[in-house]
Amino acid sequence: MAISIRQKAGKAVLNLGSDSRSLPPVSVPAGAEQVAVATSAGRLLVFPLAQLPELARGKGNKLIDIPSARRRDGSERVVGLCVLEAGQPLVVQAGKRHLTLKKDDLSGYEGERGRRGRALPRGFQRVDELLALTEG
């Protein structure tokens, strides 16, 4: 019995453009309720995890709105992504400075998935990283 083996196309896990970079994967803890996304223009959007559908392979989800012109010329991109549990504070790292946003502060940045988000305060608009603050 002869076995025919062929090379199959499409084995790439992630296809990126020449000027694109990928973010590290983010684990989703059991009690996760919200997703926080930040852009290089200093915009932050927090939305419920339930709004993020699980799509078939090869498909993507729009997390935050970046205007087409800014996306094309590379002047704005997603720089941070974080999954938060109920009432968990978010830390925005901007260089050597950090801003801790508690539940009441985060409510000002809440919106629907795919929206533009709100601008962070001056001095925190060059976001390096988003972190979920753990107790202890």
User: Would you give the DSSP letter of residue 49?
Assistant: G
pLDDT tens per residue, range 8-40: 666 667 777 777 788 888 989 899 999 999 999
Query: Which DSSP string corresponds to 86-129?
Result: TT--EEEEETTEEEEE-HHHHGGGB--TTS--EEPPTT--S--E
pLDDT tens per residue, range 98-132: 999 999 999 999 999 999 999 999 999 999 999 99
Q: Alpha-carbon distance 47 to 64, whole Å?
A: 10
Q: Alpha-carbon distance 37 to 78, whole Å?
A: 7
pLDDT of residue 33: 96
pTM for the whole thing? 0.86
Structure-model confidence comparison of residues 132 and 3, the more confident one: 132
Report CA dihedral (45, 58, 54, 63) to the nearest 10 degrees: 10
pLDDT tens per residue, range 43-67: 999 999 999 988 776 677 899 999 9
pLDDT of residue 1: 52
Confidence band (pLDDT; 50, 70, 90) for 7?
A: low
> What percent of the chain shows pLDDT beyond 90?
64
Q: What ranges do the domains of the chain cover? A: 32-132
